[in-house]
Amino acid sequence: MRYGGYTFTGVALLTNTEQREWDAAQARDRERREAIQKRARELLCRSLTPAQRQSLDEHGFFDLNVGGRHYRIRQGTHGNVRLILYLEDTMYLTVSCGVVSLPPEPPSP
């Protein structure tokens, strides 16, 4: 909303010059975030197998087997790691991985 030479942003009234500076700073921040995200994805893809990269590109996730456990890693910044527990051949349960750790494996007989 404009009032004379000022723009109301919902937080404060800015002059046209201040608004242009604000917009330029926001554009720089957005470009920096995009560059960082692109670099992070490049680094991740270097450590994935071709099948995992294809799954990430096509479905937005890849699967990983570690220590006999099956994990599904989705794109995102939080809540994106799931432990998949197979109950039967055609059924599985996903458990969100977070700060709560799973109980230790029972000792082998």
What is this structure's pTM? Answer: 0.60
Percent with pLDDT over 70 in the chain: 72
- Domain spans of the chain? 1-47, 61-109
Q: What is the pLDDT of residue 69?
A: 85
Starting from the edge strand earliest in sequence, which strands make up the sheet with 81-86, in order?
61-66, 69-74, 81-86, 92-96
If you average pLDDT over every residue of the chain, what do you get? 80
pLDDT digits (tens, 9 = 90+) for 11-57: 667 788 888 998 999 999 999 999 999 999 999 999 999 999 999 99
pLDDT, residue 57, reads 93
Residue 79: pLDDT band by 50, 70, 90 thresholds? Answer: confident
d(CA 60, CA 76): 9
